[in-house]
């Protein structure tokens, strides 16, 4: 069964000129004049480059199947992170470049969704937030209000985040893996 632009969905993986692209968003457009078309924003799976691309409606496309598996982060091994498949107990080496800047929120035992295509890892998706322990922060001085009542704090993964003045060392905080923002205190 041939697939066309009508089958495009958010998250679909397209093979365009031998490169894999993931659909971030799409819109079917039927102008008053002229033929219908599909406007998409796509992301190169390997490089992360994001581009806008327009396709004619009904155009045949090559879709790729991607296997999403939940793997648990085990440890750092030089140029790779080692993840474990908790169903087969196989260890999987994932290049650090696939995790990118989000590695500073990666804690041992964290479950991540890893996308594979033909056995090759394509991307690593961390949970939306993680709970980390504050390892270092200065005491918050109430009178010192040059900013909005926040101060820098270093968490157990080595990342530096902004936390409210009342947070102290040894406390657990919830942190967004998207932008590193403080989301709240954990017990």
Where residue 92 sits, what CATH number does that domain have? Answer: 2.40.50.140
Question: Cβ contacts of residue 101 below 8 Å, gap of 6+?
Answer: none
Per-residue model confidence (pLDDT) at position 146: 57
Mean pLDDT by 10 residues, the chain (187 residues): 82 87 91 92 86 92 88 92 92 87 90 87 88 89 64 92 90 92 89
d(CA 175, CA 157): 12
Q: Which helix (H) or strand (E) holds 97?
A: helix 96-99
Number of domains in the chain: 3
d(CA 171, CA 142): 19
Per-residue model confidence (pLDDT) at position 28: 92
- Residue found under tokens 């790729």: 64
d(CA 143, CA 135): 24
Domain boundary among 91, 107, 125: 125
Query: pTM of the entire structure?
Result: 0.72
Residues 59 and 72 in one domain: no
Residues 58 and 82 in one domain: no
Q: Which helix (H) or strand (E) holds 98?
A: helix 96-99
Per-residue model confidence (pLDDT) at position 141: 66
Domain holding 112, by residue range, is: 67-125
């Amino acid at each position: 069964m041939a697939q066309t632009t009508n089958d495009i969905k958010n998250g679909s993986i397209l093979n365009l000129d031998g490169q894999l692209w993931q659909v971030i968003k799409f819109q079917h457009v039927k102008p008053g004049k002229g033929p219908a078309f599909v406007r998409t924003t796509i992301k190169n799976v390997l490089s992360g480059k994001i581009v806008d691309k327009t396709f004619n409606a009904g155009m045949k496309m090559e879709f790729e199947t991607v296997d999403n598996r939940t793997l648990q982060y085990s440890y750092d091994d030089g140029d790779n992170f080692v993840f474990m498949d908790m169903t087969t107990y196989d260890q999987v080496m994932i290049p650090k470049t696939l995790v990118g800047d989000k590695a500073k929120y990666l804690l041992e035992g964290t479950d991540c969704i890893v996308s594979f295509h033909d056995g090759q890892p394509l991307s690593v998706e961390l949970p939306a937030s993680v709970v980390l322990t504050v390892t270092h922060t200065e005491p918050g001085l109430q009178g010192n209000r040059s900013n909005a009542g926040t101060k820098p704090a270093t968490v157990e993964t080595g990342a530096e985040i902004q936390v409210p003045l009342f947070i102290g060392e040894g406390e657990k905080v919830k942190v967004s893996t998207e932008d590193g923002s403080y989301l709240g205190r954990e017990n």
